[in-house]
Amino acid sequence: MSQLGRIRRPADLRSLTTSELEVLAEEVRDYLVESVAKTGGHLGPNLGVVELTLAVHRVFTSPRDRIVFDTGHQAYVHKLLTGRQDFAELRKEGGISGYPSRSESEHDIVENSHASTALSWADGIARAHELTGQTDRHVVAVIGDGALTGGMAWEALNNIAEAQDRRLVIIVNDNGRSYAPTIGGLAHHLDALRTARGYEKVLGWGKRALQRSGPPGRVTYDALHGLKKGMKDVLAPQGLFEDLGIKYIGPVDGHDLPAMEFALRRAKAFGSPVIVHAITEKGRGYTPAMEDVADRFHAVGVIHPETGLPVTPSRFGWTSVFAEEIVEIARQRSDVVAVTAAMLAPVGLAPMAEEFPDRVIDVGIAEQHALTAAAGMAFAGLHPVVALYATFLNRAYDQLLMDVALHRAGVTIVLDRAGITGDDGASHNGMWDLALLRTVPRLRLAAPRDEATLRAELREAVEVDDAPTVVRYPKGSLPGPLPAIGREGSVDVLTRTAGDGGPRTLVVGVGAMAPTAVAVGQALEAQGIGSTVVDPRWVLPVSEDLLDLAAKHDLVVVIEDGLGTGGIGSAVRDALAEAGHAVPVQTHGLPHEFLEHASRASIVERYHLQAQDVARQAAGAVAALTAAHDVVEHEPRA
């Protein structure tokens, strides 16, 4: 049996020799490459934390000792060591999640895929342990150097520094990257520690001690004593961490298992908050990932494991269109700048950064700062374009509301992966934006349906200089062109059918759901029901043109990939009522709940957002309206 096959729980690690642990580490890496190549997932981050995770589980006793990962995409190794060794359906419906999940294991604490939160979780858990007298339990937080660029992490550190009696160990997994190289003053500080002479001494003493360690595969007292001697120069708090009042150990080679274990045992023995600074290499042990400067292996689709190349090359997608168009806009307008929160390539800003390096600002994992800084740039005469994944806008709602909108700042926000993203689960579905943004006064939101409308609406957005504008689009490849057959004011008309008379239906497709709306119109036509299918283009605020068009129909059907309650359908219903138009509105969107990981197609089917489902309900409403109309027509006159 392989070493990995023998591991069913973390306690099984403690009987292994050093040589057996080395074999296990290689088997874990081989398994990750082989399995993630078949399913897609976060590969690079997990290859980089193999020894670190082994050391954590050998030193601490999970689940009694609580282990919190920030972000959870580096928890695959943790899953393998806690009894979850079937990755065949990773991130697929019915399979294991790509993040920690309490429903999967008692060893998982936080479904933590929004960065910079682990230290607050750890502080809260440690406080509770202290207040309830559980002073023999430890809390371990594993946080990347990229996540330390987020303000929430420093709010937590400010509080942790006061907790001198709490058993809290913070492991800084320092690989110099998040999605891209970590930026800012913190990165420079960690880099200085990383290259300090003390670190070289640790490595030198450790290597020499291990050479004198006796029988191969055993870590002897001499080896540990040598490491201890080598670490004397770096056990004292350093720099920024000294100012916070938190003990500091490191830097430690995160791929040197004996060194990591030694550092963690020292940290565990302190009995108060300690930072262990571990240096790791993202993608460790997998040549394609280690040689890739663009960090394509942070998260991958299905790939050939030998080469790392995609099995099916990606089709031209929404992000690529934005990437092209923002460069064209930047060439024409010198006041346009772009802002990213540590995701330069994923949101499509790499081409602009290459051509205009001084006009693309990476603020780190700090969405709140991004929005308020953008308001400041707008005040000073620039037009910032802030590009984020839709799920991460949630973190900066207050700044959007109070700093951007209140101050009438001309800031454009581009939301990638809006709506249903699916595979990454509850925390990554960008399904909250429409309902959230509906509450922001003066905000204007566009939902393009295809390549042409994305390019046009982005250009319209950057022309607005007195209010926030938002352009949102989904994850993945582009649909085919969906041209309008006409326009009613600002509203694109996609199809019109006469039907057999009787109630007329207005079908409104929001953004990526426009093709579904067209298919609904076709299904209604097959049943003799007339319809007008439209794309409002700008869905917030609800336009007078859309209200006028709705007032000419007997039923309005709104299809969106955000929340069905509180989203665009609800906004249309409210606006019609306020305008005095008594037109019934059917809303079709996602339920007010967190969605488990599954494909977009599966989620669309599960929540009845397929064209046949929507058409069936619309036809039922039309039948009810027709029946009611017939009753009124045949009532005897008084």
Active-site positions? 282, 367, 395
Alpha-carbon dihedral 620, 624, 627, 628, rounded to 10 degrees: -170
Is residue 388 within 8 Å of residue 348, measured between CB atoms? no
DSSP 258: H
Whole-angstrom distance, CA of residue 423 vs CA of residue 520: 26
C-beta neighbour count of 473 within 10 angstroms? 30
Is residue 421 within 8 Å of residue 318, measured between CB atoms? no
Is residue 363 within 8 Å of residue 343, measured between CB atoms? no
Amino acid at 487: R
**Main-chain dihedrals φ then ψ at residue 312, nearest 5 degrees:** -120, 110
3-class DSSP assignment, residue 446: strand
Q: Nearest Cα to 4, choosing from 72, 66, 16, 97?
A: 16
Q: Which residues are annotated as a binding site for Mg(2+)?
A: 145, 175
Kind and range of the H or E element at 508? strand 505-509
Q: Nearest Cα to 340, choosing from 294, 383, 388, 304?
A: 388
Whole-angstrom distance, CA of residue 480 vs CA of residue 487: 20
The residue whose two tokens read 């709140």 is 368
Q: Which residues are annotated as a binding site for thiamine diphosphate?
A: 73, 113-115, 146-147, 175, 286, 367
Whole-angstrom distance, CA of residue 282 vs CA of residue 300: 14
- Largest pairwise CA distance in the chain: 109
Whole-angstrom distance, CA of residue 188 vs CA of residue 204: 24
C-beta neighbour count of 301 within 10 angstroms? 15
Percent helix / strand / coil, the chain, rounded to 5: 45, 15, 40
Residue 416 tokens read as: 């990638």
DSSP 511: G
Q: Nearest Cα to 204, choosing from 227, 188, 181, 224?
A: 227
CA torsion through residues 163, 164, 165, 170, sign: positive
**Which DSSP string do the residues of 68-129 spell out, in sequence order?**
EEESGGG-HHHHHHTT----TTTTSTTS--SS--TTT-TT------STT-HHHHHHHHHHHH
3-class DSSP assignment, residue 311: coil
Q: Nearest Cα to 510, choosing from 470, 464, 460?
A: 470
> Chain centroid to CA 183: how far?
19
Residue 113 tokens read as: 């895929």
The residue whose two tokens read 């043109």 is 545
**Which DSSP string do the residues of 16-78 spell out, in sequence order?**
--HHHHHHHHHHHHHHHHHHHHHH-B--HHHHTTHHHHHHHHHHS-TTTSEEEEESGGG-HHH
Q: Which residues are annotated as a binding site?
A: 73, 113-115, 145-147, 175, 286, 367
Is residue 91 within 8 Å of residue 41, measured between CB atoms? yes
